[in-house]
Structure 1
């Protein structure tokens, strides 16, 4: 079923007709560990176990593309922030270290080669690449510079800095960009195909297009340039309504943009659709709460709304912990249903 998975994704990225709608989560890492009952700390200590869990769940769900590593905020702890490692789900930042311009000089600059979480992520990625890298499009998830500063400074304080202390904001972003670039270089060495840079703090509900163009996109683009230099494809995910930002997102050279379930594909300009592949945007809450038939119907609706877009079918955000595997599988079923209809009409 998935023999042509990687080829299908690559054809879409190149703007070619793939003949079917491929499927990607886009964020299955933490969810899969929860499905198999593996505590987060155990997955970090045992990267082989973590990789095997992802391989098993991916096989069940029929993904064409998937995360090979998913611990996207590990630089936060390496800066020195205290974090909470839950039994399930993402690791949460508990303390903020940047209190003002003077505190920057006291920060410990993260190095992925010394980061126990990044080292574990790299080993998991290498194992997944070795197992299915020839068949599937594999990517690693990392935070963008803008979101990284939101974690170590505090989102509210950082957004105020954009107005009150813009030079300080840019100093922080320069520092964060160097860190994220180094993490990109590090994880690209595992043999993955892409790096998905996540920037939830740059959501359209938090920043306006002018702020995005000045404080988020230039720094994310510098990271994307490194990803491309390392031979991988740059990807992006931004939460919320990005309808006013999507042209700027394409301008960064984004190969694949993972977009929120609040977005309507029909409102995206055709010119933008032709410049990058779109990944989304089934509602995660509906995927969690509806029956399998309801989840299938939601997936079909998403495909129909895509029209001429180069679409990878997936969720509009994280797979919520506890989402039934049988519901996630319906995205594959919807893709297969569309493919059968497509080939019938074009035969």
Structure 2
């Protein structure tokens, strides 16, 4: 397995990502802003790995993530199981194209009677074994240089994908008891995933995009999303010793109050959110992450537009009380030119803190 070579490749960096993270937590000076581009399958472009191979060949997944770090020198590595892996392990059918993002081929849970036969995903299932193998390989290469923080998805989103989003959102009103039954199975599956990653993870990520206020009211967020998110965060904190980062798509301002009640290490903000407002209202409690537009700026923007946006966001958030990590507002599109990511990292290294 290829090893990390940051020290040789990035002479402009005076710290490793691990050193930078520690200094941020200790409120010491850092050499540059931390950067976490949300990349996954796109890393396979660097190793000639298709999306299907990335998700089914642990060695190729690990090699792709390592190749991305060796090119960019970014501040955190990740892998699954995330929403895709846990949903698939519970029965969902996933389509894996050669190029592009995986997607659900249809809803799995067509009748809630199926819950009588459903059990939480086990850590020794074949799908979980795959992610353990990939994660351990990444950790072996990254240890001592950069953190490995797997994603476990989000309970509301996984449940919605299993049931079918439109049906699931309707069920929150018409069949709340069944929704809670499904969420319990999903949450227990995610706890098992936390147990699985705890042997090699330095932290973990959660992403619950269907829990967005664009899709559910704050009342439904409080009933169906918040308690399960909080339970998982507290469980993961106990098991791994690190609070998670959380991403929810869209305008989340209406549920920021609930964010303050959860043990969130870093809140990842959609690109439509106001970083200045987040710094004022959340920055004293959690690290801010975000929030470069992944489509308008990273995918379609010019070099100058990307550089300007990097400088603008750094100017707003670099002095946030608990710290700031520059990140994309959501997943970097598969079609993105890798040169854009090079520009991003080069520009961050030019910034004066």
Q: TM-score, normalised by structure 1?
A: 0.90
SS at match of 1:139: coil
CA distance in 2, matches of 1:231, 1:267: 31
Question: Which residue in the other structure is 1:319 paired with?
Answer: 332
Aligned residues: 336
Quick one: distance in 2 between partners of 1:144 and 1:264? 23
Report what 1:274 is aligned to.
Answer: 284
Q: 43-52 or 315-324, which moves further after superposition?
A: 43-52
Preserved contact between residue 9 and residue 137 of structure 1 (Cα < 8 Å): no
> 2:175 aligned with 1:165, yes or no?
yes
Aligned partners of 1:172 and 1:18: how far apart in 2? 46
- Residue from 96, 103, 115 that aligns with 1:92: 103
- Counterpart residue number, 2:158: 148
Structure 2, unaligned runs of 5 or more: 1-12
Of Structure 1 and Structure 2, the greater strand share is in: 1
Distance 1:34 1:307 in 2: 31
Residues of 2 paired with 1:18 and 1:84: CA distance? Answer: 45
Cα offset, 1:236, TM superposition: 1.1
Q: Is residue 203 from structure 1 mapped to residue 216 from structure 2 by the alignment?
A: no
Match of 2:341 among 308, 323, 328: 328
1:260 and 1:316 in contact (8 A); partners too: yes
Counterparts of 2:193 and 2:80 in 1: how far apart (Å)?
A: 12
Per-residue CA deviations over 1:189-244 (Å, capped at 9, x if unaligned) read: 2x221111110101121122222122112101111122111124212111111122
Once residues 227 and 26 of structure 2 are traced to their aligned partners in structure 1, the CA distance between those partners, rounded to angstroms, is: 25
How big is each residue's C-alpha offset from its partner over 1:274-317, in whole Å with a ceiling of 9 and x where there is no partner? 11111111010110112333222221122122153221011000
Select 1:212's aligned residue among 208, 221, 225.
Answer: 221
User: Alignment partner for residue 239 of structure 1, among 227, 249, 260?
Assistant: 249
CA distance, structure 2, for counterparts of residue 110 and residue 265 of structure 1: 37
Would the aligned equivalents of 1:2 and 1:135 in 2 still touch at CA under 8 Å?
no
The question of 1:5 aligning with 2:14 is answered: no
Mapping 1:1-347, distance limit 5 Å: 1=13, 3-12=15-24, 14=25, 16-19=27-30, 20-25=32-37, 27-69=38-80, 72-116=83-127, 118-189=128-199, 191-233=200-242, 234-268=244-278, 270-285=280-295, 286-306=297-317, 308-309=319-320, 310-338=323-351, 341-342=352-353
* Whole-angstrom distance in 2 between the partners of 1:11 and 1:167: 46
Contact residue 202 and residue 238 of structure 1 kept, 8 A:
yes
The alpha carbon displacement at 1:337 in A equals 2.1
Structure with greater contact order relative to length (CA < 8 Å, sep ≥ 6): 1
Residues 165, 45 of structure 1: CA spacing in aligned structure 2 closer, same or farther, 3 A cutoff? closer
